[in-house]
Chains A and B, each alone.
Chain A
């Protein structure tokens, strides 16, 4: 379990944003495997090993990077699901979003989000933001064993 490589999940519907985020992670030398899911339903399938992800290896990912505006099931729904499921609750969730909308901030924090990052227009600032987050959650932190709540 300790030797297991830590995986990140990136939930993002926009291909450009996926590419930019991956580039920002690369630039910050985050070498973890990144699983990209295209919408909220896909993200939940991955987390529960269903459908497309039925045969995926490993346990819970080390971190979920979550966009709020997604087709089918939006980020808020995914966050609520993760934080209300005892087996998923320990996964850190970072919301990546385009705008600092007051209503989104309030709702995500009340649902138990671990961090909230506004994607700046300027790419360099974005790289800096990802550097802080990605480094912190994916590399330094040890996540508790699967299915055990940290609290």
Chain B
């Protein structure tokens, strides 16, 4: 039996781990995708909240700082020193005013100035300058002035703004009612370093913090002038946008109360979603580990299943290829263990049955050999017998005839030499001697023909009985000596058989019919055929002397006659020949008749596939 190896692609050993890995990977991918989406969404919301919160806080802080400054400056504007100076400027009041404004100055910042209502600068109180920390100075403040906090201005790369407070000639009991005497003007530059530090503290690194006017004209990232954010910064709110260099950001705007300013805090997406990315990376590593673990586990499990299956298959193939016995070594308690045990039981049973069969076959072969030897012996014996018979008949034909020839020969010569002295009685004796010898010769000849009939080779072919009967009729009808014969020959079939021996049989039967109807004025001879699906039955019927059915069984015996040679000549071998010929064809012969009422002789021939219908 041809062995059919399982290709590695179709093997469970590969397919099960692959399937497990694929399923695990699918589940993990789905989980990871959903988790990433959830984490991302949460992070987006957190980022938005964070930027808004940072913007609000910065705005509040800046607003408070600014209000504090305004309050400080307003108290100075109502102070006696400043009011005294403004009402009555002289050296004394000037010094007092200066004393009052000095605490309001800021180191390294532009001076706090006093201007009158006509636009003339009265005083400029300069703060202390820390050596080494001198900042570049903005241009000097100039009228007109508007009370409050001004928008940011930019000049020479320096950002600055003014805080302007009205100085009014008012009584303490009714504030804000008096006429305006002038202004306190405090110009300040943005100090980036400090602010940046504060903002980074508030918002965290990676954040963008921008400050500018609500009108959107001047904006800074606290180190330099920048374009304003691409959103409406005059009102608070969240927005997402892309920078010109392709970075996506989420940002929040907040209005700084008490000023014309807004603050803008933005975080790049990359910063916001960095934790999600990290989470994803980590989870992917974990997932790969899980998939690998699943694959290994599946490989181990499938090996546990397929290894016994391989062993079973190998054992089964060995048995199929003719191995006497093949067992598998599976010691397990699960289904595979049961399968192995069942297989072993089956293999042993098959082995047992096989041995039994082999023993039986051997026995049969031995028996057949014995029978065969016997048959061969019988065949040899038969062959020897056949050869002996052949030699016997050869001897008979030569040696038995010679004495007969001598009898007739010398009787004839005696008649010739003693002719004149012989009387009629002597001559009759001599004739009887010769006749007896001649008759003996015929008997020998017929017996030899009969003997050869049993050994003659028969050729089998299609024989047209109709043509054969016509032929024989012409032959036997040649010497009828003017007898009246009415032939009634029916349609006859084509049969399977040996033409020459069948011809001999028909010749015998038809000669007999003619012979035994010789006493009738008109001999009526009918020849026909019928029969079933298995055989063809041919009959030859005459209206001759017939026979007594009591002796019908003797008709076909050798030298058996129902009539004396005086009535009808013959040796009694003809019907024996017919029987032998028909038997050698596998058929039967029989006869029906009654004394004085004719006889019918039948013979049957087995039908073969090749014999056809009557023509």
A16 within 8 A of B: yes
Q: Known interface pairs A98-B397, A99-B397, A101-B394. Does A123 touch B409 (Cβ–Cβ under 8 Å)?
A: yes
6 closest A-B pairs by CB: A99-B397, A121-B441, A123-B409, A123-B412, A20-B409, A16-B406
| Structural contact, B406 and A20, CB atoms closer than 8 A | yes
Least Cβ distance of A111 to chain B in Å? 18
Q: Which residue of B lies closest to A118 (CB)?
A: B401
B611 surroundings in chain A (CB, below 8 A): none
B397 surroundings in chain A (CB, below 8 A): 98-99, 101
A86 within 8 A of B: no
Give A106 to B308 CA distance when docked, in angstroms.
Answer: 80
Contact of B405 among A17, A23, A68 (CB under 8 A): A17
Give A121 to B401 CA distance when docked, in angstroms.
Answer: 7
A4 within 8 A of B: no
CB pairs A–B below 8 angstroms (23 shown): A16-B402, A16-B406, A16-B409, A17-B405, A20-B405, A20-B406, A20-B410, A20-B413, A23-B409, A23-B413, A68-B398, A69-B399, A98-B401, A98-B405, A99-B397, A99-B401, A119-B401, A119-B405, A120-B405, A121-B437, A121-B441, A122-B438, A124-B412
A103 surroundings in chain B (CB, below 8 A): 394
B137 within 8 A of A: no
A97 within 8 A of B: yes
Q: Known interface pairs A23-B413, A98-B397, A99-B397. Does A123 touch B408 (Cβ–Cβ under 8 Å)?
A: yes
| Structural contact, B406 and A17, CB atoms closer than 8 A | yes
Least Cβ distance of A122 to chain B in Å? 6
Give A124 to B415 CA distance when docked, in angstroms.
Answer: 12
B109 within 8 A of A: no
Give A123 to B414 CA distance when docked, in angstroms.
Answer: 12
| Structural contact, A17 and B408, CB atoms closer than 8 A | no
B507 within 8 A of A: no
| Structural contact, B438 and A97, CB atoms closer than 8 A | no
Least Cβ distance of A120 to chain B in Å? 7
A119 surroundings in chain B (CB, below 8 A): 401, 405
Give A68 to B409 CA distance when docked, in angstroms.
Answer: 20
A68 surroundings in chain B (CB, below 8 A): 398
Q: Which residue of B lies closest to A119 (CB)?
A: B405
Interface residue ranges of B306-347 to A (CB < 8 Å): none
Q: Which residue of B lies closest to A97 (CB)?
A: B398
Give A68 to B401 CA distance when docked, in angstroms.
Answer: 14
Q: How large is the interface on B (under 10, 10 to 19, 20 to 34, 35 or more residues)?
A: 20 to 34
B434 within 8 A of A: yes
Query: Which B residues are closer than 8 A to A by beta carbons?
Result: 394, 397-399, 401-402, 404-406, 408-413, 434, 437-438, 440-441, 448
B441 surroundings in chain A (CB, below 8 A): 121-122
A84 within 8 A of B: no
Least Cβ distance of A13 to chain B in Å? 10
Give A124 to B398 CA distance when docked, in angstroms.
Answer: 19
The DSSP consensus for interface residues of chain B is helix
| Structural contact, A69 and B408, CB atoms closer than 8 A | no
| Structural contact, B402 and A17, CB atoms closer than 8 A | yes
Q: Which residue of B lies closest to A100 (CB)?
A: B397
Least Cβ distance of A36 to chain B in Å? 16
A149 within 8 A of B: no
A116 within 8 A of B: no
Give A84 to B592 CA distance when docked, in angstroms.
Answer: 59
| Structural contact, A98 and B408, CB atoms closer than 8 A | no
A69 surroundings in chain B (CB, below 8 A): 398-399
Query: Which A residues are closer than 8 A to B by beta carbons?
Result: 14, 16-17, 20, 23, 68-69, 97-99, 101, 103, 119-124, 126
| Structural contact, A121 and B405, CB atoms closer than 8 A | yes
Give A98 to B406 CA distance when docked, in angstroms.
Answer: 11
Least Cβ distance of A16 to chain B in Å? 4
Give A99 to B447 CA distance when docked, in angstroms.
Answer: 13
Q: Which residue of A lies closest to B412 (CB)?
A: A123
Q: Which residue of A lies closest to B413 (CB)?
A: A23
B406 surroundings in chain A (CB, below 8 A): 16-17, 20
| Structural contact, B413 and A123, CB atoms closer than 8 A | yes
| Structural contact, A123 and B405, CB atoms closer than 8 A | yes
17 extra A-B contacts, CB within 8 A, seeds A97-B398, A98-B401, A121-B437: A16-B410, A17-B406, A20-B410, A20-B413, A98-B398, A101-B394, A103-B394, A119-B405, A120-B405, A121-B405, A121-B440, A121-B441, A123-B405, A123-B408, A123-B411, A123-B412, A123-B413
Give A121 to B435 CA distance when docked, in angstroms.
Answer: 10
Give A98 to B409 CA distance when docked, in angstroms.
Answer: 14
A120 surroundings in chain B (CB, below 8 A): 405
Least Cβ distance of B441 to chain A in Å? 4
Q: Known interface pairs A101-B394, A121-B437, A121-B438. Does A126 touch B405 (Cβ–Cβ under 8 Å)?
A: yes
Give A126 to B410 CA distance when docked, in angstroms.
Answer: 12
| Structural contact, A122 and B434, CB atoms closer than 8 A | yes
Give A97 to B437 CA distance when docked, in angstroms.
Answer: 18
| Structural contact, A121 and B394, CB atoms closer than 8 A | no
Q: Which residue of A lies closest to B390 (CB)?
A: A103
Give A122 to B397 CA distance when docked, in angstroms.
Answer: 15
Least Cβ distance of B411 to chain A in Å? 8
Give A126 to B434 CA distance when docked, in angstroms.
Answer: 14
A99 surroundings in chain B (CB, below 8 A): 394, 397-398, 401, 448
Give A103 to B409 CA distance when docked, in angstroms.
Answer: 27
| Structural contact, A14 and B402, CB atoms closer than 8 A | yes
| Structural contact, B398 and A126, CB atoms closer than 8 A | no
